[in-house]
Structure 1
């Protein structure tokens, strides 16, 4: 791995106020629109899993006690798995707002797994990354007992969940958990953060508490990846400028997938298109499964 210049990161020349504009998508949306989006997350997730076959509340990590939900399984058959990691800048939301795609995927033959993780500041970002990787390990080790195919795992996530998706795509962690290097067969991060050094200078860092060196060590765009799984890097047309830049840079860095700029969507509603099986993002996700 090449030595990383800690002071050379995208947007470093911007003022703190300019960085906040680029990365504070909640402020960009405004309180009324933000609250409306969050209400949609909750309502759509509740509707998606109402009556859907599944096994919610399974403990996947003994150390933290964190749990995940399994949705859209079929008795007597192993289904490919979409592991969806929620966003919230590592400090908000949960699995309960994050299963809105489960019914649409179930109808297309794909199961959904939605893990919780301990939110900052109760957990460091290193610990959050460990937990998300542990959830993937749980699917690989125990999935068969819950109708999940451990050899067909696709990981995706939105915003901070896009960052955490990236941290499952890179190498260097699978062996320690007894996993094959290709445990994640494909990935679809939405509006992700892949070089998180800019976060050290925006409001989020008051909760996450990173310095530049730790941020670099937790940046998927700066970490080794001898095997580059197929990926679709999705971002909204009306996203924050920082997220648009991050997605473009990571797609070029990853060099094993497509950049998908979704028209007429913002940072919060782009991922909700996964609830519509005929949307462009759903077709892209199902296209990844078709390659497995």
Structure 2
């Protein structure tokens, strides 16, 4: 196979919109997703009591939103980290999970962060830690019964990197409230990404790919904390995305010997509607979360 052909295939593998079967073109997939999350986020912002644009750091992107401020102080919390290959989307269009969660008496915290190329990927990872520190301190102050994280696509990568840091969790007050995480159509091995157009804005040096990949981290500390991890991908994700989810599950289950592990490839879904369903009543993400809360909290 020629290098040109290999490059084309690699680009396709890391272009999630090209694998959806819902629309004729990749551009229509992306436009629908943006329209959907924008409209749903606006709807929940207009209907759910909230506090927006809370600064957790000094740069413009380091803000978060709390939706469901009318719920009891001890309400469980879901923290949502959006995707967009670390260079697209934003906090304002990522509030859409809050509607069904609010009806289930769960607060939603939506984390924003600076995007590439204004920020480097190591800087973004550090920002997510800062946001998590704010969340854990808030949860402790309010007496929340439990904190969950969810990340989609690049957001799943950021959540996975957050969870990999035993030092951070051990040194952060309130982190004992961490109950579980949902990693949705994530990317966990960055070695091939540096050879795609994604890296034009991310500007990730090749030598950083392994240190910044969750696939090469250790998660043994999560076992003693009894953190539960749900790794999800879509049937109509690319083969590479599905492979990465499976390989990350195998790392956690076989190498790190974690027991509270769940892997599912969701039938008839693609990279985008697997997370869009968060906005719908009786969605599987909400149902799994509520089941986990009722079982463990």
TM-score, length of structure 1 as denominator length: 0.88
Range 65-74 or range 37-46, more displaced: 65-74
Aligned counterparts of 1:181 and 1:171: Cα–Cα separation in 2 = 12
Q: Please list, as runs of the form range in 1=range in 2, the aligned pairs for 1:54-65 lying within 5 A after superposition.
A: 54-62=50-58
The equivalent residue for 2:46 is 50
The equivalent residue for 1:261 is 265
The equivalent residue for 1:19 is 10
The equivalent residue for 2:94 is 98
- Displacement of 1:124: 0.5
The equivalent residue for 2:117 is 121
- Displacement of 1:148: 6.7
Aligned counterparts of 1:173 and 1:54: Cα–Cα separation in 2 = 32
2:165 to 167, 171, 176: 171
2:215 and 2:251 in contact (8 A); partners too? yes
Aligned counterparts of 1:248 and 1:182: Cα–Cα separation in 2 = 28
1:73 and 1:148 in contact (8 A); partners too? no
The equivalent residue for 1:245 is 243
- Displacement of 1:180: 6.3
What is the alpha-carbon root mean square deviation over aligned residues? 2.1
Indicate how the Cα distance of structure 1 residues 217 and 46 shifts in structure 2: closer, same or farther if over 3 A, else same: same
The equivalent residue for 1:73 is 69
Q: Which runs of 5+ in 1 are unaligned?
A: 1-13
Aligned counterparts of 2:182 and 2:94: Cα–Cα separation in 1 = 15
The equivalent residue for 2:211 is 217
What SS does structure 1 have at the residue aligned with 2:186?
coil
1:163 and 1:192 in contact (8 A); partners too? yes
1:174 and 1:180 in contact (8 A); partners too? no
Aligned counterparts of 2:175 and 2:48: Cα–Cα separation in 1 = 32
The equivalent residue for 2:288 is 284
- Displacement of 1:274: 1.5
Aligned counterparts of 2:59 and 2:15: Cα–Cα separation in 1 = 32
2:136 and 2:175 in contact (8 A); partners too? no
What SS does structure 1 have at the residue aligned with 2:209?
helix
1:168 and 1:184 in contact (8 A); partners too? no
Indicate how the Cα distance of structure 1 residues 122 and 57 shifts in structure 2: closer, same or farther if over 3 A, else same: same
The equivalent residue for 1:194 is 188
Q: Which runs of 5+ in 2 are unaligned?
A: 21-25, 254-259
Aligned residues: 277
1:42 and 1:97 in contact (8 A); partners too? yes
Indicate how the Cα distance of structure 1 residues 75 and 286 shifts in structure 2: closer, same or farther if over 3 A, else same: closer
Indicate how the Cα distance of structure 1 residues 115 and 20 shifts in structure 2: closer, same or farther if over 3 A, else same: same
1:235 and 1:247 in contact (8 A); partners too? yes
Aligned counterparts of 2:45 and 2:173: Cα–Cα separation in 1 = 30
Aligned counterparts of 2:176 and 2:159: Cα–Cα separation in 1 = 14
The equivalent residue for 1:208 is 202
